[in-house]
Amino acid sequence: MMTPSPSHGNQPETIPSIEVPLGDNGTELPNPSHSPDGSYVKLAMRNMVKKRGKSLQHFLLTTTALVGLLVGLSYLTR
């Protein structure tokens, strides 16, 4: 006679359910994450690589503005 292992216990295995969004007529809606042209993240990363100088320029401008804002606020509230 085989005894059940403590990890399984006497509970039956459950299969997780997946909710599929349905349209008005009851058909399954297309999943936007599986679009043939790629995901938005991939497209954004590709654009950042193509426009490296513009991304660095915006990053440096944002960093400079943020540091300037913090220095200005600290000067006003001293």
CB atoms within 10 A of CB 29: 10
Cα gap 77→69, rounded to integer Å: 12
The angle subtended at Cα 48 by Cα 44 and Cα 54, nearest 5°, is 135
The answer to whether residues 65 and 72 touch, using CB atoms and an 8 Å cutoff, is no
Query: Looking at residue 1, what is its pLDDT?
Result: 52
Query: Looking at residue 12, what is its pLDDT?
Result: 62
pLDDT above 90 covers a percentage of the chain that reads 27
Cα R_g (the chain), whole angstroms:
27
Of the pLDDT bands very low, low, confident and very high (cuts 50, 70, 90), residue 52 is confident
pLDDT tens digits, residue range 1-32?
A: 555 555 555 666 667 666 666 666 666 655 55
H helices within 1-78, ranges in order?
40-50, 52-76
Query: Looking at residue 61, what is its pLDDT?
Result: 97
